[in-house]
Amino acid sequence: MINLLPEDEFLERTANVALQRVPWDLAKQKGVDVLMRRDDLIDTHLSGNKFYKLFYNLHAAKDSGYQQLLSFGGAHSNHIYALAMAAKFSGFKCIGVIRGERSRQLSATLLDAESAGMKLHFVSRTDYREKNSQELRGSLNRLYGDFFEIPEGGANNYGVIGTTALGTAISQQVKGDYTSICIAAGTASTLAGVASGVAMGDQNLNTDDKKVIGFSVLKGDGDLGSDIINHQHAINSKTNNWRLISGYHCGGYAKKLPNYLRQFMSEFEATANLQLDPVYTVKMCWGVAQLLVQNYWPRGSKIILIHTGGLQGRRGFGLF
């Protein structure tokens, strides 16, 4: 039996996520009001944007009669972790195709995923790059039978549609009273969905001055801008209320945190009275700090930071 959260309860949850003021001296000096939307708290098992990205994927899988889910990720992946938890609590079987050979000591993320019932299928880094190949599909089908496939990071149409609910919820919560919404961007499919959702939720939106700003956590972020346009296109949306900011990756994706960032992280956490994850949200907050220093926002601005969760990933960095 597959048992999923109904859509009305999903929407109700998204409407009730706390917006918490961050008493940040730097922001106060600059006359900017900073609020954090605590999507890390939206669910006990699936945190942050992965809760949104998986919701319609799970429904699509169930509606098409699948019993089994399959997706891709690295050894510390928040997406793999969320998928394993979602499968466990909804009654799906699931398979995680994991980048790299199986190591003798599995990461905390993979240990949890495996004990939640996920089957781990390791592929070499070279094969992982070819993860969309027909050969891999064929051998996975022979090994595991039929499955509903979700791309790495949950970045498909269903994932983007799920994240529009996050944007709509914010615009209804703040009713136009904000300057910018800030979010960390990996594939930037959440940024795309949130920007669309904000536009759907606010008929009076002035897209010239109210933006959703994505902070890329990637060192080489390639063509992320056109990815955003494509993600929106795939859900029949096109908005110009988003911006992508690069340069605050602090050494690259999931790399060891430089000392200045580690120090910033613990200070920010103490100030805001919450925890950040070391791959995404800490870099968004660092980017926001740098923009505040540069007087990017005029006095009187009100900015909303989205906490996209991912705290389970702290363990891979020796943070608890």
Interface residue list for ligand PLP (CB under 6 A)? 48-50, 78-79, 153, 155, 184-191, 277, 280-281, 308-310
Positions of E strands within 11-151: 19-21, 33-37, 68-73, 93-99, 119-123, 148-149
As measured in angstroms, the least distance from the Cβ of 143 to ligand PLP is 27
* Closer residue to ligand PLP in complex, CB, 2/289: 289
As measured in angstroms, the least distance from the Cβ of 22 to ligand PLP is 17
* Closer residue to ligand PLP in complex, CB, 77/173: 77
Q: Shortest CA distance to 169 belongs to which of 42, 275, 276?
A: 42
* Closer residue to ligand PLP in complex, CB, 30/249: 249
Backbone angles phi and psi of 104, in degrees to 5: -60, -40
As measured in angstroms, the least distance from the Cβ of 310 to ligand PLP is 3
As measured in angstroms, the least distance from the Cβ of 38 to ligand PLP is 13
As measured in angstroms, the least distance from the Cβ of 306 to ligand PLP is 9
* Closer residue to ligand PLP in complex, CB, 191/272: 191
Residue position matching structure tokens 């089994």: 68
Q: Shortest CA distance to 186 belongs to which of 231, 147, 143?
A: 231
CB 116 within 8 A of CB 84: yes
Q: Shortest CA distance to 85 belongs to which of 61, 41, 115, 120?
A: 115
As measured in angstroms, the least distance from the Cβ of 231 to ligand PLP is 9
CB 43 within 8 A of CB 51: yes
* Closer residue to ligand PLP in complex, CB, 32/212: 212
Residue position matching structure tokens 């051998």: 139
As measured in angstroms, the least distance from the Cβ of 298 to ligand PLP is 27
Using Cβ positions, the residue closest to ligand PLP within the complex turns out to be 310
CB 297 within 8 A of CB 303: yes
As measured in angstroms, the least distance from the Cβ of 309 to ligand PLP is 5
Contacts of 189 (CB under 8 A, 6+ apart): 53, 153, 154, 155, 159, 160, 163, 227, 231
φ/ψ region of 31 (left if φ > 0, alpha if ψ in -120 to 50, else beta) reads left
* Closer residue to ligand PLP in complex, CB, 30/198: 198
Q: How far is 236 from 178, CA to CA, in rounded Å?
A: 26
* Closer residue to ligand PLP in complex, CB, 30/113: 113
3-state secondary structure of 181: strand
* Closer residue to ligand PLP in complex, CB, 86/191: 191
As measured in angstroms, the least distance from the Cβ of 31 to ligand PLP is 28
* Closer residue to ligand PLP in complex, CB, 163/171: 163
- CA Rg, the chain, in Å? 19
Q: How far is 81 from 45, CA to CA, in rounded Å?
A: 9
